[in-house]
Chain A
Amino acid sequence: MRRSSAALREERGAIERRASRKAPPLSVPAALSRGGACRLEGWLVHVVPSGQSGVPGGEGCPSAVSLLCKMAASGRRRLLSHGRCWFSQTESAAPPQSPDSLYPPIVASATAKSKAAKRRRLEYFNQRVHAAASIEEKLRLYGQLQRPKYMLYPQTFALNADRWYRSFTKTVFVPGLPPRAVSAAAKAPGAVAPEAAKTPEGAAGVAPEAAKAPAPGTAAPGAAKTPGLAAGAAPYLDMGELRSLACDALLQESFYQNKKRPYLYRDQDHTPGPFLTQLVSTLAAFLCGRNPLLAASSLDLKPEVNYYWHHGEEVVVHGHRKGRVDPVRFQIDDHPHLQIRVPKQLPEIVPLESDLGDVPVIDHKPSKLPLFKKQYENKVFIGSKVADPCCYGHTQFHLIPDKLKRERFVRANLEDQIEVLYRANGIASLFAWTAAQAMYQGFWNEADVTHPFVSQAVVTDGKYFAFFCYQLNTLALTVETIQNNPRKNICWGTDSKPLYDVVEDGSVKGFNDEVLLQLVRFLLNRPKEL
């Protein structure tokens, strides 16, 4: 029902007069200012412990409460009587006017079927999200509207899925892992020269760089990861010890433990899954002395990671909304095998505005990939709720399921798609995780990240390991925000390499030290100040 502007003005005048009237004798319970619990008609008042003086509403509470009481008590003319509860509040969102002006600011209508009205509604939604009181409220508002959306699966059989995923997430893929920052003081003199001999010097084992064959794309050999290495006081990483840990875990799962035959199409639950869990937990425990971040970390088994975002535009094809221009919505629901979350963030790899390559542009609709639409709850989740202190991600471990194993690709003459699978998994899972971490800190596509979010992932099928590193530089992927946004997200990744050749008769043949070393380096990654 439309109301004339005159009626509006009259109502607003009435409200101002009511507000300026002296407060009627309403006993605000004195306990409220002291922080006790109290009841108020129609409003919930939280128990605020009296010790908390930092609560913003503490002092202003009584006045706000009295105003609310008046509004509730008057009853007759409610601001919210129309059912359009945002109506009055848009007046407060309008630009402030001088107090002697009688006319409201002239803005576009908020309910009309016009582009200006749509813009105004969008603006209002953005303001509501910006002004949300807590992160949970912000996430709730962000994902409030449910519409059909594309479900992205990180582990997919689709051909060239990594190119499509890069275009959806505005990611640049750089083959090889980023060069490690050289820690100046700790550059041990012997580390640069490749040492062929692995003879341990005295009690300490050999420096890890000696055993490292040049991994693709890694420029500098990288200094030793252990801190305080200059004087050689801290022990070097003992490769023999690590190798024996890894081999013990592998042999227990595949040889020593008496197991039944694996269930049909459930090979990965029989040996690779338990082996990965065992390996990561023992390595993390072994390395926590060298990496204090691991000592404060939280290990999740089979967590859930979700992210929802908009990217691009399309025209609605059928239905009652046919012909309208809608953003393209995506949702990732990922279930990594294992993940490590930490309370402090990993350092950035390259500066925020770096440009390391191009993002592929695909002219087709996402449904051609194939991707399918469904409408359900829009979830944003990193593995635990916002209240958890370990809110940043460190490393994820993904296990390739049986239906996407290498033999099937080889049988179908699709050998090149094997690496595509690993890359797509790395890009999609890490984008979802880092973006969800950024949302947990309050950023979203209108409020872009101010510092990059970095996480790592290892994708494996039990024997072949591929390592990925992701730096999230921008969350602004919607049509309005992507126009003037030069930033791109960056993903570094390797090809999949085998950890061992074969296990027979209680021994592991052809164990590959570099893969283990890379895994150890991933686990030892930490911020510079630690």
Chain B
Amino acid sequence: MAAAGPMALRRVGAAAAARGRGTLLTRGILTRAAPPRHRGPLPRTPWTTRGPPPEELARAVERRPVREQVELDAVTYAGRQHFVPGLARPRFPPWDRGWHDPWHSPGPRYEDMPLYKERGCYVCHQRVRMLEGVRQAQWLTKTKLVEGLPPSVLSIVDDSAHRLEDYEERVKCAISHARLWDTTEVAPRREHYCPVLFEDLLHICRLMSMKYPSLAKRMLARNYKISATWERESTLLQVRGLNGILMNSMAPIPPVASKEEILATEEHVLETFYPISPTIDLQEVNVYKELNDTGFRDGYPYSHPHTLFFLESANIRPNRFRPEQLRAKMLMFAFGNALAKAKVLYGNDPKVLEQPVVVQSIGTDGQLFQFMVFQLNTTDLVSSDGIKNLVWIDSDQNLYEKAQCIPEVKKRVVTKPAGIYGFQPDTFKKFLALYLHGTV
């Protein structure tokens, strides 16, 4: 080590090797030798017992740049063209190629882009996980929350004329198909079984169209993009991008809440969560276009958004949205769809809608279901008082408790044979009721 200087590069492992391979850990990273560290208890000096003197503290708080703290005429070894111990380290100006190479250019700056605006806009896209969840989404969309599904949907669930009990066997088959039978491996992964379960349930719902012919007037759209812009107490907000699978219908859903309920929302006060700002976790952009687009061109026959489906099918748990975050995302995108449709129907001026726009939303991760019905009553969202929008949420409905792919064996005895455990038919009834809502 005598030959190597303090500024020379050396491998960390050399120190370990010098120590005689005491450790198994060899890290091949290059470091510079740090000044020798004092590894014992601190020496008891007035500085360590009483703290540094005030002028030292003041200097630390000052935050002068390092180059000012070092003397200005510090002599560097730049002229010497090689390292010299004792001289300062020079800082060179960044190298300029002299010509524009498209493969190595940093790109245009935000300030030079044509859509640059001084005022920032907060964008909610499909990867946004809101800290405060549904409360934050409520504040941003000026919505009042009602627990449970609305009475018009519950009446479809309870109505025995629909004979929803006949479908229990089919639903169990669908769950077994998705969770147990659909793969050549032993057990399918969530990325595989979540969409399969959703498709199977939707297939069962679609087969109801033999009883209700107007159900045929529905169309699914995958990979569509929504854009909606609104202002909320001096912050500009946008909902953008791909979100989920949208089911469109030719006829809109009739309004769910009565006029009295809508007028009663005037007294409701939106929750704030000071000191957290309501725009936390939203992406702030300065380059944007204020766009309102439903995702489809004019003249589309199935012009009314009916239900939005969200599938949380990531295999790894941290990549999936938690139920609270999923509900917030469902609320934001249902609102975005309703707002874009309302602006197409009634124009861009903020006003209270005589015919509220209703959009439903269902989110699932293959087992838990979240149901939501959103009614847009007003597009006047700048102030926090006045008529508010309404949302009904039914959260955390389990379709089944457990799906056992291989039988559980304890001490060579089969304790739990393979199959689906804890099936709850009510969840599917609500799914079907939300599907039938608007035509029945």
Interface segment, A194-202, A280-288, A346-354, A516-524?
Answer: A280-288
B199 touches A299 (CB 8 A): yes
Query: B411 contacts which chain A residues (CB < 8 A)?
Result: 39
B110 within 8 A of A: no
A6 within 8 A of B: no
B287 within 8 A of A: no
0/1 interface trace, chain A 243-266, chain B, CB 8 Å (1 if under): 001001100100111110000000
With A and B bound together, what is the CA distance between A45 and B196 in angstroms?
A: 34
A388 touches B206 (CB 8 A): no
Count, chain B residues at interface, CB 8 A: 43
A282 and B181 in contact, given A39-B413, A257-B224 (Cβ under 8 angstroms): no
Query: B301 contacts which chain A residues (CB < 8 A)?
Result: 248
Interface segment, B143-151, B291-299, B333-341?
Answer: B291-299
Which residues of B217-232 have CB atoms within 8 Å of chain A's CB atoms? 219-225
B210 within 8 A of A: yes
Q: Which residue of A lies closest to B294 (CB)?
A: A258
B222 touches A274 (CB 8 A): yes
A389 touches B302 (CB 8 A): no
0/1 interface trace, chain B 340-379, chain A, CB 8 Å (1 if under): 0000000000000000000000000000000000000000
Which residues of A389-445 have CB atoms within 8 Å of chain B's CB atoms? 389-390
Query: A301 contacts which chain B residues (CB < 8 A)?
Result: 195-196, 199
B180 within 8 A of A: yes
Which residues of B247-279 have CB atoms within 8 Å of chain A's CB atoms? none
Q: Which residue of A lies closest to B296 (CB)?
A: A256
Q: Which residue of A lies closest to B211 (CB)?
A: A289
With A and B bound together, what is the CA distance between A383 and B220 in angstroms?
A: 24
Query: B293 contacts which chain A residues (CB < 8 A)?
Result: 258
Query: B300 contacts which chain A residues (CB < 8 A)?
Result: 252, 256
Nearest-neighbour CB distance to chain A for B28, whole angstroms, equals 38
A252 touches B210 (CB 8 A): no
With A and B bound together, what is the CA distance between A249 and B293 in angstroms?
A: 21
B295 touches A248 (CB 8 A): no
B196 touches A39 (CB 8 A): no
How many of chain A's residues touch chain B, expressed as a range? Answer: 35 or more
| Selected contact of A288 from candidates B199, B207, B223, B295, CB within 8 Å | B207
A298 touches B219 (CB 8 A): no
Query: A295 contacts which chain B residues (CB < 8 A)?
Result: 207, 210
Nearest-neighbour CB distance to chain B for A2, whole angstroms, equals 36
A495 within 8 A of B: no
A388 and B210 in contact, given A256-B297, A257-B296 (Cβ under 8 angstroms): no
With A and B bound together, what is the CA distance between A388 and B181 in angstroms?
A: 7
0/1 interface trace, chain A 476-496, chain B, CB 8 Å (1 if under): 000000000000000000000
With A and B bound together, what is the CA distance between A433 and B411 in angstroms?
A: 40
B184 within 8 A of A: yes
Nearest-neighbour CB distance to chain B for A454, whole angstroms, equals 23
Query: B402 contacts which chain A residues (CB < 8 A)?
Result: none
A385 touches B180 (CB 8 A): yes
A281 and B203 in contact, given A39-B413, A47-B417, A259-B223 (Cβ under 8 angstroms): yes
A288 and B209 in contact, given A248-B219, A248-B302 (Cβ under 8 angstroms): yes
With A and B bound together, what is the CA distance between A252 and B203 in angstroms?
A: 20
Nearest-neighbour CB distance to chain B for A387, whole angstroms, equals 6
With A and B bound together, what is the CA distance between A286 and B206 in angstroms?
A: 9
A171 within 8 A of B: no
Query: A38 contacts which chain B residues (CB < 8 A)?
Result: 413
Nearest-neighbour CB distance to chain A for B175, whole angstroms, equals 12
With A and B bound together, what is the CA distance between A383 and B184 in angstroms?
A: 8
Q: Which residue of A lies closest to B221 (CB)?
A: A257
A53 within 8 A of B: no
Which residues of B143-188 have CB atoms within 8 Å of chain A's CB atoms? 170, 173-174, 176-177, 180-184
With A and B bound together, what is the CA distance between A46 and B415 in angstroms?
A: 9
B200 within 8 A of A: yes
A44 within 8 A of B: yes
A446 within 8 A of B: no
Q: Which residue of A lies closest to B412 (CB)?
A: A44
A308 within 8 A of B: no
Nearest-neighbour CB distance to chain B for A372, whole angstroms, equals 22
A33 within 8 A of B: no
Of the candidates B177, B220, B225, B293, the one having the most CB atoms from chain A within 10 angstroms of its own CB is B177
Q: Which residue of B lies closest to A384 (CB)?
A: B181
Query: A296 contacts which chain B residues (CB < 8 A)?
Result: 170
Q: Which residue of A lies closest to B195 (CB)?
A: A301
Query: A248 contacts which chain B residues (CB < 8 A)?
Result: 219, 301-302
Query: A306 contacts which chain B residues (CB < 8 A)?
Result: 184
| Selected contact of A384 from candidates B177, B195, B225, B296, CB within 8 Å | B177
Query: A160 contacts which chain B residues (CB < 8 A)?
Result: none
| Selected contact of B219 from candidates A45, A282, A304, CB within 8 Å | A282
B299 touches A285 (CB 8 A): no
Nearest-neighbour CB distance to chain A for B428, whole angstroms, equals 16
Query: A43 contacts which chain B residues (CB < 8 A)?
Result: 412
With A and B bound together, what is the CA distance between A39 and B409 in angstroms?
A: 12
Query: B220 contacts which chain A residues (CB < 8 A)?
Result: 278, 281
B216 within 8 A of A: yes
Q: Which residue of A lies closest to B205 (CB)?
A: A285
Query: B216 contacts which chain A residues (CB < 8 A)?
Result: 245, 282, 285-286
0/1 interface trace, chain B 388-424, chain A, CB 8 Å (1 if under): 0000000000000000000001011111010000000
A299 touches B297 (CB 8 A): no
The 3 closest A-B pairs by CB, nearest first: A289-B210, A285-B206, A385-B181
Question: 23 A-B Cβ contacts within 8 A?
Answer: A39-B411, A39-B412, A44-B409, A45-B412, A47-B417, A248-B219, A252-B219, A252-B302, A255-B297, A257-B224, A257-B295, A274-B222, A278-B220, A282-B216, A285-B206, A294-B207, A295-B210, A298-B177, A298-B203, A384-B181, A385-B180, A387-B180, A506-B299
List residues of chain A with CB under 8 Å of any chain B CB: 37-39, 43-47, 245, 248-249, 252, 255-259, 274, 278, 281-282, 284-286, 288-289, 294-296, 298-301, 303-304, 306, 379, 381, 383-385, 387-390, 506
Given contact pairs A282-B216, A295-B207, a sample of 12 additional A-B residue pairs in the complex whose CB atoms are under 8 Å apart: A43-B412, A256-B297, A257-B221, A274-B223, A284-B206, A285-B206, A285-B207, A285-B215, A286-B209, A288-B210, A301-B199, A388-B173
